[in-house]
């Protein structure tokens, strides 16, 4: 049984932590948006989080799971759905029909597919983030940092239907928080260089989860993706 009050309290607690860390880092309290990671959690657990009015949206990892929730989402609880997990090109059309933003554009080929579809579907300009593998871990998706600028340049030249709003990364699997901080710093520095080179603002940095969002905010994150601190530990899939 879902404890709605407990979930609401956790959202408010995380939201207050975000504001406190932002201020401590010399940033404004509204500089960082809270995206609740809803993967593996049922709709009845998501509703009280949304109803706080404190979320930027809900983040799903898989197109199929997101669709199953969106199809039964009740009216009167408006929310934006974001795709934060790896997207296969054969599911791109469905993803575009479901999600208001894709955080995981991890190749030029995927960008080409998305661009063609958003123009066919009348969705251009469609907001996306380029996913960067700042940790170098083989299990993670994302372009290599050295390929970030070339990929962005290709997308600007060939994919006018995409509104490239910034970058996304997942912190490293490391117990050393300094490693995590460096990965987040590298994304910010990469964004700054890419923005200077292209003139695009690239204002969004989607980085930081339940265990490391403090480090991400200190390094310039504008979107933190929080799951377990709100909904508890996810069931294994």
pLDDT, tens digit (0-9, with 9 covering 90-100), for 9-31: 999 999 999 999 999 999 998 99
pLDDT at 153: 98
pLDDT at 237: 45
CATH number at 149 reads: 3.20.20.10
- Is 130 among the domain residues? yes
* Residue 233, CA distances (Å) to 6, 75, 86, 146 in order: 14, 28, 21, 35
pLDDT at 175: 85
Give the chain's domain count.
1
Check pLDDT > 90 for residue 236: no
Identify which of 55, 57, 62 has the alpha carbon closest to the alpha carbon of residue 39: 62
- Is 39 among the domain residues? yes
Average pLDDT of the chain to the nearest whole number: 96
| pTM score | 0.95
Residues in the chain: 237
Domain that holds residue 171: 4-231
- Is 237 among the domain residues? no
pLDDT in tens, 108-144: 999 999 999 999 999 999 999 999 999 989 889 999 9
- Is 192 among the domain residues? yes
The mean per-residue pLDDT over the stretch 60-73 comes to 98
* Residue 154 near residue 118, CB atoms below 8 Å: no
Identify which of 149, 158, 88, 155 has the alpha carbon closest to the alpha carbon of residue 128: 155
- Is 236 among the domain residues? no
* Residue 236 near residue 45, CB atoms below 8 Å: no
Token couple for 183 = 């990965």
pLDDT in tens, 149-187: 999 999 999 999 999 999 999 999 888 999 999 999 999
pLDDT in tens, 186-234: 999 999 999 999 999 999 999 999 999 999 999 999 999 999 999 997 6
């Amino acid at each position: 049984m879902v404890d709605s009050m407990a979930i609401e309290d956790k959202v408010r607690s995380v939201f207050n932590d975000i504001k406190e860390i932002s201020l401590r880092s010399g940033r404004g309290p509204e500089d960082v948006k809270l995206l609740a990671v809803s993967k593996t959690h049922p709709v009845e657990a998501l509703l009280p989080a949304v109803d706080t009015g404190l979320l930027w949206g809900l983040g799903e990892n898989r197109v199929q799971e997101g669709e199953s929730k969106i199809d039964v989402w009740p009216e009167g609880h408006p929310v934006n759905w974001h795709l934060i997990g790896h997207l296969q090109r054969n599911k791109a059309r469905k993803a575009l029909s479901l999600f208001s933003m894709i955080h995981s554009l991890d190749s030029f080929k995927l960008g080409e597919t998305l661009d063609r579809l958003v123009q066919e579907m009348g969705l251009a300009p469609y907001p996306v983030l380029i996913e960067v593998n700042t940790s170098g871990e083989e299990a993670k998706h994302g372009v290599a940092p050295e390929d970030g600028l070339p990929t962005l340049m290709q997308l600007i030249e060939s994919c006018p239907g995409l509104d490239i709003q910034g970058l996304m990364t997942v912190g490293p699997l490391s117990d050393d928080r300094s490693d995590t901080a460096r990965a987040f710093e590298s994304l910010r520095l990469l964004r700054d260089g890419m923005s200077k080179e292209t003139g695009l603002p690239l204002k969004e940095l989607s980085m930081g989860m339940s265990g490391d969002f403090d480090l991400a905010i200190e390094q310039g994150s504008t979107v933190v993706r929080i799951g377990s601190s709100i909904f508890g530990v996810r069931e294994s899939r």
